Structure formats: structure tokens, C-alpha cells
Amino acid sequence: MQPQNNPLEHFFHQAVRNSYEGKLGLNDPDVTGYVAHLLAEFSRSDKLYKFRDEMGRPIAELKSLIDASDPVHGSAPSFDAERMVRKHIGDYALFVAGMYPEAVDSWRRRRSHHPSLNELVAAGKESYYIVSQFNLFEYEQEAPLFSRLSDWFERCILGLTLVRDELSNRRPLLPPPAAE
């Protein structure tokens, strides 16, 4: 589904496939490919906070992102912009909840307006559902993928947690010791 242009994507694809298919029985190549692409994308911090406020600062708070996605009462200039921001909210929620769930508690301790993990998961699941409802014209082919991502959101988070565990247990590749 996604072109593999980031060198990390192949690496992440293998790790995601091992966890999603091998451990969870989630045999969906489109979901696996999408999540691997997401991990490769978010390996760059500028992609994690890609939306900016009117002052040019990254929008890092969930409520602000949701407001930015609303074309009627918020600041989204179009329904296409709504879809783009909602897709990002789903991606962000999936990534953080699966790879860094402990960060959510840390954010909440420092600032009272950060969402709980349950709120983040609910927003991500809802956002993917909203994206799936854009099912006409150029979005018709992708809509079923986002429907599955919404339906399986918690399983996808669990799969990413397994990916994280696998990656943290890997030992660095070191050359063999020199013979004496």
C-alpha cells in the first residue's frame, strides 16, 4: 500500500509482521504495511508534530489537534483538511499508546490538560473511524483500511507494544571478537 522510501521501513515491516501476524494472528498485509510505514515516518520528530498553529509552533496537545480538524467549529479550512488531521490523530495515538504509553502518565503529571491513555486511545479510534467515512473518490480504496484500523485499534496497540518489547530486547550487532 505505502511505498517503502525510508530505509527503516523494511526493518519495521519485519518487526510489525512478527508481532501482528506471528503473535496476534492479525493477518492483514495492508495494516502491517501501514503500521510499519507509520513507525518509519515517526522516526523523524518533525513528522510526529507536523501540524502547526497560527504562530508556527507544533500542535502537540490532543484537544488542539481535534479543534484543528473541525471544519465547522474549528480551524480546518476544508473536509480534506479534517481528514488529514484526523488521520494524524489516529496515527499519533496509535504510535504513542503502543510505543510510549508511559509518556502519557508523565505528560499528565506535568500538565493537567493532557489526556489519559484511555482518552488518547478513544480519540485515535474515533479519528480512524472518521477517516474511514471519507469513502468516495480518491479515498475510496483506503477507507476500508481505516475502518479496520479503528475496529482493531486496541489490538494494533498491543501489537506495537510487542514490537517495542522485541526491539528493546535486541542486542546490537557487534562484530565477533578477534581471535587471539
The confidence score (pLDDT) of residue 173 equals 47
Q: Which domain holds residue 83?
A: 7-169
Q: Is residue 180 part of a domain?
A: no
pLDDT tens, N- to C-terminus, the chain (180 residues) = 455 577 899 999 999 999 999 999 999 999 999 999 999 999 988 888 888 888 888 888 899 999 999 988 888 899 999 999 999 999 999 999 999 999 887 765 566 567 899 999 999 999 999 999 999 999 999 999 999 999 999 999 999 999 999 988 875 544 555 555
| 82 in a structural domain | yes
Tell me the chain's radius of gyration from C-alpha atoms.
18
Residue owning grid cell 471544519: 71
Q: How many domains does the chain have?
A: 1
Is residue 83 one of the residues assigned to a domain? yes
Residue 14 inside a domain? The answer is yes
Measured from the Cβ of residue 40, the count of other Cβ atoms closer than 10 Å reads: 21
pLDDT of residue 125: 98
Cα–Cα distance for residue pair 29/74, rounded to 1 Å: 35
Distance of CA 116 to the CA centre of its chain: 17
Residue 2 resides in a domain: no
pLDDT of 42 reads 94
Residue 174 in any domain: the answer is no
Asked, for residue 177, whether it belongs to a domain, the answer is no
Is 56 part of a structural domain of the chain?
yes
Q: What pLDDT is attached to residue 112?
A: 58
